[in-house]
Amino acid sequence: MPTKTRKSNRKGLPPGQVSTHRLLRWGKDHPAITSSIPKIDLKTYVLEADGEVENPLRLSWVDIIKFPKTESVSDFHCVEGWSVLGCRWEGVLFKHLADLVKPKETAKFVMFECADGYTTSLSLEELSRENVLLAYELNGKQLEEGLGFPLRLVVPDKYAYKSAMWITKITFMSKKELGYWEKRGYSDTADVWKNDRFAK
Ligand SMILES: Nc1nc2c(c(=O)[nH]1)N[C@H]1C(S)=C(S)[C@@H](COP(=O)(O)O)O[C@H]1N2
Ligand SMILES: [Mo]
């Protein structure tokens, strides 16, 4: 199946960010994560999608890679001030998964749960934009373990704490619930173009 390409709206560096290279800022460990890197086996990996939906799903790795593949080139901005420009992500459009699970009228927000215990949430409307991916490749290679293997979210216009790595569960909700960093003082709206870093 041919890959569809969606170019993210790249408008240069947002306010307060400097450009870096992923590997340079990694150093020996990984300063962007809250715990250690989880080990995930593709043979037993399951992605659950449920909550306020007509058609809850439990997807295996084989199910996921059969979905239409989309490429999205976007810039990646951590709230601590570094950005990685021109990341070429490939994976499944979040919108594609949402269409499969059929959110009920009441579904307005979505919570992501990850294998390291991390959580983050976004509105269903923000997730339905055409540059939001459930990504499994970066720059032509399968995601490395430290970058979210096997499946991570990529939300280009939000600070990177919204781009959950190692996703295991996606819950559609009628009411907003805050994620890990959003409960600890970071902005829930997290708009990189508005320098919207901290909860008000
Ligand atoms: N599961 C999980 N996802 C996460 C995090 C985390 O600690 N756990 N950290 C976030 C933060 S703060 C950043 S900057 C990015 C780091 O992504 P990268 O490894 O691609 O640079 O992942 C985000 N997603
Ligand atoms: Mo971050």
> pLDDT tens digits for 42-85?
999 999 999 999 999 999 999 999 999 999 999 999 998 989 99
From the number of C-beta atoms within 10 Å of its C-beta (0-12, 13-18, 19+), residue 173 rates as middle
Q: Give the domains, in start order, of the chain with CATH numbers.
A: 49-187 (3.90.420.10)
Q: What is the mean pLDDT of residues 173-192?
A: 98
Which pLDDT score is estimated for 113?
98
Its pTM stands at 0.95
Whether 179 contacts 58, CB under 8 Å: no
CA dist 168 and 152 (Å) reads 9
> pLDDT tens digits for 86-141?
899 999 999 999 999 999 999 999 999 999 999 999 999 999 999 999 999 999 99
* Protein residues near ligand 2, an ion, with CB under 5 A: 32, 78, 160
129 lines ligand 1 (CB under 6 A): no
Whether 8 contacts 76, CB under 8 Å: no
Residue 186's pLDDT band, with cuts at 50, 70 and 90, is very high
Question: Ligand 1, closest atom to CA 116?
Answer: 1
Q: Dihedral, CA atoms, 106, 93, 178, 36, nearest 10 degrees? A: 150
Q: Has residue 147 got a pLDDT over 70? A: yes
Q: Where are the alpha helices (DSSP H) in 32-146?
A: 61-66, 94-101, 124-127
In the reported structure, the alpha carbon of residue 66 is separated from the centroid of ligand 2 by a whole-number distance in angstroms of 30
Ligand 1 pocket test, candidate residues 21, 30, 33, 111, most atoms within 8 A of CB? 33
Average pLDDT score over the chain: 92
Q: What is the mean pLDDT of residues 156-178?
A: 97
Residue bearing the CA closest to ligand 1, atom 2: 165
Residue 24's pLDDT band, with cuts at 50, 70 and 90, is low
Which pLDDT score is estimated for 26?
53
Greater confidence (5 vs 168) lies with: 168
Greater confidence (175 vs 200) lies with: 175
Question: Ligand 1, closest atom to CA 166?
Answer: 1
Residue 28's pLDDT band, with cuts at 50, 70 and 90, is very low
78 lines ligand 1 (CB under 6 A): yes
Which bound ligand lies closest to the C-alpha atom of 162? Answer: 1
164 lines ligand 1 (CB under 6 A): yes
Residue bearing the CA closest to ligand 1, atom 16: 32
